[in-house]
Structure 1
Amino acid sequence: MLSLADVKQLPTRAEVDPDLTWDLTPIFENQAAFDQLFEQVSAQIAALSQQQGRLKAGPKELVSVIEAILTVIRPAEKLYVYASLKHDQDTSDAANQALSGRTQHLLTQLESQIAWFDPELLAVDADELNRWLVTEPKLKPYVHYIHTITDAREHVLSPAAEELLAKAGDALGASSNTFSVLNDADLEFPIVEDDDGQTVQLSQGVYDQLIQSTKPEVRKMAFKQLYSVYHQFRHTLAATLSGNVKTHNFSANVHHYQDARQAAMSSNHIDESVFDSLVTSVHEHLPLLHRYVGIRRQILNLPELHMYDLYTPIAGVPELSYTFEEAKEEALKALAVLGPDYISHVKEAFDSHWIDVVENKGKRSGAYSSGMYDTAPYILLNWQDNLESLFTLVHEMGHSMHSYYTTHNQPYQYGDYAIFVAEIASTTNETLLTDYLLKKYPDKATQAYILNHYLDGFKGTVYRQTQFAEFEHFIHQQDAAGQPLTADFLSEYYLKLNQTYYGDDVISDPEIADEWSRIPHFYYNYYVYQYATGFAAANTLASRILSGDEAKRNDYLNYLKSGSSDYPIEVMKRAGVDMTQVAYLDQAFAAFEKRLDQFSTLVNENH
């Protein structure tokens, strides 16, 4: 019988080399410093009620109230970011859980205490408010900030109603929080064998590695073992997802939106036609995806192509593995085209412990960039020595540099940016890395491998995320129509949608019907479509950067500096992409087809 001593275990947080962890002490030197600010902010939140009723007095009072509120939001956001980072480095740690819980409750209190602001602002006569914006110089920095509120005039409720909804924030977020705890801390995955026949504890990170194995039996085993765990909890996970969807639909309904999608997209001033154009364009180009997976089955020489065969490299495995130190050097070279100033800040990220590198027990799965105006833009990774991790590094660095440029060029009220533009910065970096690697490695085998990675990235981001977006919209519509979102209902639709996307050359294994149960982004409220639009826009922006035209590069850097000082669509127009038109999508699919042709030629020459 296999003993635990024979199994390769993940390290505990305490066992991780400190050089591979992020340094959070610049945010708070110790717990006492956190607690001190927490108590201070708690008192400030309680005092915010004194601001209520002042707006109607005039423009100077409006400035005073806005500044008073932002003065409390800013340190509260700092507390939240710190607690979130601590929680995610070890989600099983009780102290970290408590820290996160305390901070979430604090934010709920804050939201309830300022819920009156939007309704009170909208109660000011529109013509009178416009006169204030013109005549009061101190309001000039807040004009767009105010417009983002007044543009949603018809969707803002009374002060009492908005306060009540804000106070319900913890309860309304319970389904999402339950999923996170279950997915990141409580699910126990079985022991499996890796490529070398070594026994390892299956985890999200290990699964991501094994599903890329060149050995079919390893891929199949990892796939079936992972989904066997999710299948056991599919009814619970259906309940958490259903609860989250109901929250979105409830909020949209009470705020007088047509549906949850309109509510989510209106917050960023994005027309719903952007979503619909994406889905339409992807469906028009599904034959390209079907062609690609057909080539995959042919090259792998498999009698049947299964869902677990879609991630293994199909052009062999050249010596493209990277330690984290090697990856940092490659990232600097690949991103050099963005100019010396950009590179200097990437080096700062590497040298200042902004990155939490390796996987440990209880650590949140996946990768992200997170921070706020007064912190570094930290990066969480779960590093594996492979090409995918290199791409993840430059992807998250794109987010962090976007944050860095924004916070160093905008005032606090515009010191963040919409998700719609966030994914563009990250995927532009990935596109630049692909171009760099194709130029660095001229041999056909490596070229084919890199092209395979690009095609898989396009498949996983444009096609797969649009598939997710379709599913997300469907379940919101179905819930709004009164359809119970049971596990069977969700799985039946998901399987059919999967079959549509991948076509007849792929066996949609029964396990894939449960894929919805493990996707965290379904809890993010119409987030995923922005991965696909972002990837497509990045294709155009990367081409502009690689042209060598300094003005086009500066257009891109100015986009990174824009923050939320204008609506996302307008920011991207100035960067060189009009995302209200389909041209950027056409360009993206043309690039995909071109590289698919290149890949097909290369692999046919080698077979």
Structure 2
Amino acid sequence: MNRPLPNRSDLDRRFTWDGASVFETEAAWEQAVESILVHLPDLEEFKGHLGDSPDALADWFDANERAHRLMGKVMVYSTMDYSVDVANQAAAARADRARSTAAQLGAAASFAVPEMLSIGLPKLREWVEATPRLGHLGHYFDRLEKLQKRIRSAEVEQLLTQVSDPLATALSAHSVLANTDLKFPPAVGSDGELHEVAQGTIATLLTSPDRSLRKSAFENYADQHLAMQHAMAASLAGGIKRDVFFARARGYASSLEAALEPSHIPTEVFHNVVRTFRDNVGTWHRYWRIRRHALGLEVLKPYDTRAQMGATTLTVPYEQAVGWVAEGVAPLGEEYVEVLRRGATEERWVDIYPNKGKRMGAFSTGSMDTRPFIFMSYNDDIYAMSTLAHELGHSMHSHYTRGTQPYVYSNYGLFQAEVASNMHQALTRRHLLATKTDPAFQIAVIEEAMSNFYRYFFIMPSLARLELEIHERVERGGALTAGYLNGAMADLMMEVYGSEVDVTDRDRERIGSTWAQFHTHLYSNFYVYQYATGIAAADHLVGRVADGDKEAVGSYLAFLKSGGSMYPLDGLRMAGVDMTSPEPVESAFETLASMVDRLEKLVTERS
């Protein structure tokens, strides 16, 4: 069998993230949890006194910040601990305890917003103007004013916060099923060699030049999700009902409105993405034809849609990937590059390689008082390099926001987040295409670009359409079953495949299970469409930034530093793109089409 994944304990610590920089020991983490719980009554003592004076309100913000900053470290540590080995029951218990503690802290602080609204926004604004300790809170109270009709009484707010923990159980159950209980049979290559199928290896297997290996990996991965489809569907139904419950509790007309209004994003932005995506599926149909020709196949199957088209595999060791990303983002300045290199190589931001028990996916995590850590499973190929670039974009965004903004604005929304990550990928890709002229290398880079578009301009918009459909179904009182979810997902996939991808009845079931394979996304209440807006905004901005336009670079860095101090759409306007218009998404599809043109030319010349 191909070399099995190592146990977590066998990894070289140099290639793991530095959890000890958050808490040196598990005992220190326990002490932090106890400290939060012991001091909950201290927060509750402020109840009924926020309006006593400006200083009383400022004291509340200080106390609340101290508690939540410590809670942030507790959550980061437990996430780091559990994500790298989901079979570790002690780590699972800590993750559960962290969520419970966060819910208790939220409940203890839940009186504050209703009480501040009872003081009256005119008086609060007077205090902001007259009191230096409150001087940074103008935007905070502006947001509060826009959302005040959604705020409930202190008692109801406390209850809504308390139920957030048990209502998150559906996601936890789906996560355990996907990351712990699913056991995949090994994939078999054309030479008979066995290859381990795991959350950390499936992406690499599906890009293999060995068609037999791809087919085996695709079938084994999907079939095991189908074996758990009914439990996963029940979990997802619970997650969607949670979204509908919270939307109705706050008086929103729909779950979509509830997801977008707090960030002051019109629902039309979501519908622009879906509409533009549907108008451009023909580009995907043309791409499948070119891909089939490049692979020399009579018929293109679902397991061929991500297969390597180059004659040889482009190996990209981690150190090389860091170097290429650093070169790509060089227009953002020497300081930017220095911070990135140090974080990726010396300060152990990144948990780099796969191991047994490591959960699926990649993400950036951290808090005000930690490093901006990165979780991934690096596989020494150009796709892993792209993932690293993406997550480093998130982490650099966090680095600049947390280094610039006060705590109250130290978090930014998902709408902003996906711009920074996709900007990194776009800058790195442009650099490689401009400096590496070998046709085989160019094809490999375009394959990476198409893989990125595949995920963000095919899978994610398709999941967004499913997400809207299932939320509206539950809002009407309908049920979510595995059969319904598989059928709806398969229909959406087939719309993009068209007649160019041959799908058997069994393979239709397999592509229909795509919803089950993206559990971390579908429980995030209309998150996935923001991948498309992120890649569109980055595509709109990247040209001037890559060319070293000082004004464009300065505006983009100001956007990274703004964090939550501006509304997302305003921050992006400052950077130079208006996401209320469909034009950026339409332009990004034009970029996708140009990549297909470029690929077709290279493939034709190679032939």
Cα 1:388–1:7 shift into 2, 3 Å:
closer
**For 2:91, which of 76, 86, 96 is the aligned residue?**
96
**For 2:188, which of 188, 193, 208 is the aligned residue?**
193
SS of corresponding position for 2:39: helix
Cα 1:431–1:318 shift into 2, 3 Å:
farther
Q: Which residue of 2 aligns with 1:292?
A: 287
Report the CA distance between 1:74 and its aligned residue.
Answer: 1.0
Q: 1:367–1:381: 8 Å Cα contact kept in structure 2?
A: yes
CA distance, structure 2, for counterparts of residue 606 and residue 405 of structure 1 = 44
Report the CA distance between 1:491 and its aligned residue.
Answer: 1.1
CA distance, structure 1, for counterparts of residue 188 and residue 41 of structure 2 = 55
Q: Which residue of 2 aligns with 1:331?
A: 325
The reply on whether 1:545 has 2:545 as its aligned counterpart is yes
Report the CA distance between 1:559 and its aligned residue.
Answer: 1.0
Amino acid across the alignment from 2:585: L
Q: 2:537–2:584: 8 Å Cα contact kept in structure 1?
A: yes
CA distance, structure 1, for counterparts of residue 427 and residue 139 of structure 2 = 33
CA distance, structure 2, for counterparts of residue 35 and residue 117 of structure 1 = 27
Cα 1:123–1:497 shift into 2, 3 Å:
same
Amino acid across the alignment from 1:596: V
Q: 1:195–1:210: 8 Å Cα contact kept in structure 2?
A: no
Cα 1:445–1:31 shift into 2, 3 Å:
closer
CA distance, structure 2, for counterparts of residue 343 and residue 196 of structure 1 = 44
CA distance, structure 2, for counterparts of residue 195 and residue 420 of structure 1 = 43
The reply on whether 1:360 has 2:359 as its aligned counterpart is no
CA distance, structure 1, for counterparts of residue 585 and residue 187 of structure 2 = 41
CA distance, structure 2, for counterparts of residue 505 and residue 192 of structure 1 = 26
Report the CA distance between 1:468 and its aligned residue.
Answer: 0.9
Q: Which residue of 2 aligns with 1:3?
A: none
The reply on whether 1:72 has 2:67 as its aligned counterpart is yes
Runs of 4+ in 1 over 6 A off after TM superposition: none
Q: Which residue of 1 aligns with 2:245?
A: 250
CA distance, structure 2, for counterparts of residue 530 and residue 317 of structure 1 = 34
Amino acid across the alignment from 1:9: P
Q: Which residue of 1 aligns with 2:167?
A: 172
CA distance, structure 2, for counterparts of residue 192 and residue 287 of structure 1 = 33
CA distance, structure 2, for counterparts of residue 68 and residue 354 of structure 1 = 29
Amino acid across the alignment from 1:547: D
Cα 1:406–1:194 shift into 2, 3 Å:
farther
CA distance, structure 1, for counterparts of residue 311 and residue 263 of structure 2 = 42
Task: Give the unaligned 5+ runs of structure 1.
Answer: 1-5
Q: Which residue of 1 aligns with 2:340?
A: 346
Q: 2:121–2:141: 8 Å Cα contact kept in structure 1?
A: no
Q: Which residue of 1 aligns with 2:578?
A: 578
Q: Which residue of 2 aligns with 1:378?
A: 373
Q: 2:128–2:136: 8 Å Cα contact kept in structure 1?
A: no
Q: 1:472–1:526: 8 Å Cα contact kept in structure 2?
A: yes
Cα 1:460–1:195 shift into 2, 3 Å:
farther
Q: 2:200–2:358: 8 Å Cα contact kept in structure 1?
A: no
Q: Which residue of 2 aligns with 1:389?
A: 384
Report the CA distance between 1:183 and its aligned residue.
Answer: 1.0
Amino acid across the alignment from 1:468: L
SS of corresponding position for 1:305: coil
CA distance, structure 2, for counterparts of residue 7 and residue 300 of structure 1 = 25
1:249-273 Cα offsets, whole Å, 9 max, x none, are 0000111001111111112111111
> Where do 1:21-100 residues align within 5 Å?
21-100=16-95
> Where do 1:195-274 residues align within 5 Å?
197-274=192-269
CA distance, structure 2, for counterparts of residue 200 and residue 297 of structure 1 = 25
1:286-325 Cα offsets, whole Å, 9 max, x none, are 11111111211232232322211110122x1445211222
The reply on whether 1:431 has 2:422 as its aligned counterpart is no
Q: 1:195–1:213: 8 Å Cα contact kept in structure 2?
A: no
Identity of aligned residues (%): 33
CA distance, structure 2, for counterparts of residue 461 and residue 572 of structure 1 = 19
Amino acid across the alignment from 2:466: F
1:202-237 Cα offsets, whole Å, 9 max, x none, are 112222111111122211111111111111110000
1:26-76 Cα offsets, whole Å, 9 max, x none, are 211112222222221111123211111112324332222222211211111
Report the CA distance between 1:159 and its aligned residue.
Answer: 0.8
Report the CA distance between 1:501 and its aligned residue.
Answer: 2.0
Amino acid across the alignment from 1:572: L
Cα 1:58–1:439 shift into 2, 3 Å:
same
SS of corresponding position for 2:364: strand
Report the CA distance between 1:547 and its aligned residue.
Answer: 2.1
**For 1:459, which of 434, 437, 454 is the aligned residue?**
454
CA distance, structure 2, for counterparts of residue 90 and residue 486 of structure 1 = 30
Q: 1:318–1:446: 8 Å Cα contact kept in structure 2?
A: no
Report the CA distance between 1:195 and its aligned residue.
Answer: 6.7
The reply on whether 1:155 has 2:154 as its aligned counterpart is no
Amino acid across the alignment from 1:498: M
CA distance, structure 2, for counterparts of residue 204 and residue 562 of structure 1 = 35
CA distance, structure 2, for counterparts of residue 85 and residue 126 of structure 1 = 40
Amino acid across the alignment from 2:170: S
Report the CA distance between 1:329 and its aligned residue.
Answer: 2.1
Q: 1:8–1:199: 8 Å Cα contact kept in structure 2?
A: no
SS of corresponding position for 1:379: strand
Please, what is the CA RMSD of the aligned residues?
1.5
Deviates more, 1:503-512 or 1:415-424: 503-512
CA distance, structure 2, for counterparts of residue 196 and residue 256 of structure 1 = 60
Amino acid across the alignment from 1:262: E
The reply on whether 1:517 has 2:516 as its aligned counterpart is yes
Q: 2:325–2:428: 8 Å Cα contact kept in structure 1?
A: yes
CA distance, structure 2, for counterparts of residue 457 and residue 583 of structure 1 = 20
CA distance, structure 1, for counterparts of residue 141 and residue 420 of structure 2 = 26
SS of corresponding position for 1:204: coil
1:430-470 Cα offsets, whole Å, 9 max, x none, are 01111111122212232223223212322321232111111
Cα 1:14–1:8 shift into 2, 3 Å:
same
Q: Which residue of 2 aligns with 1:182?
A: 177
Q: 1:463–1:532: 8 Å Cα contact kept in structure 2?
A: no
The reply on whether 1:560 has 2:560 as its aligned counterpart is yes
SS of corresponding position for 2:374: strand
1:461-480 Cα offsets, whole Å, 9 max, x none, are 12321111111111000011
Q: 1:354–1:376: 8 Å Cα contact kept in structure 2?
A: yes
CA distance, structure 2, for counterparts of residue 319 and residue 497 of structure 1 = 31
SS of corresponding position for 2:178: helix
SS of corresponding position for 2:297: coil
The reply on whether 1:471 has 2:456 as its aligned counterpart is no
Q: Which residue of 2 aligns with 1:594?
A: 594
Deviates more, 1:230-239 or 1:110-119: 110-119
Q: 1:317–1:449: 8 Å Cα contact kept in structure 2?
A: no
Q: Which residue of 2 aligns with 1:407?
A: 402
Amino acid across the alignment from 2:75: Y
1:144-190 Cα offsets, whole Å, 9 max, x none, are 12222221111111111111111112211110111111111121111
Task: Give the unaligned 5+ runs of structure 2.
Answer: none
Calculate the TM-score normalised by the size of structure 2: 0.96
Deviates more, 1:128-137 or 1:118-127: 128-137
1:96-135 Cα offsets, whole Å, 9 max, x none, are 1111111111101011111111211222233333333333
Amino acid across the alignment from 1:257: Y
Amino acid across the alignment from 1:516: W
Report the CA distance between 1:500 and its aligned residue.
Answer: 1.2
Report the CA distance between 1:277 and its aligned residue.
Answer: 0.8
CA distance, structure 2, for counterparts of residue 457 and residue 37 of structure 1 = 40
Q: Which residue of 2 aligns with 1:10?
A: 5
Report the CA distance between 1:197 and its aligned residue.
Answer: 4.0
SS of corresponding position for 1:385: coil
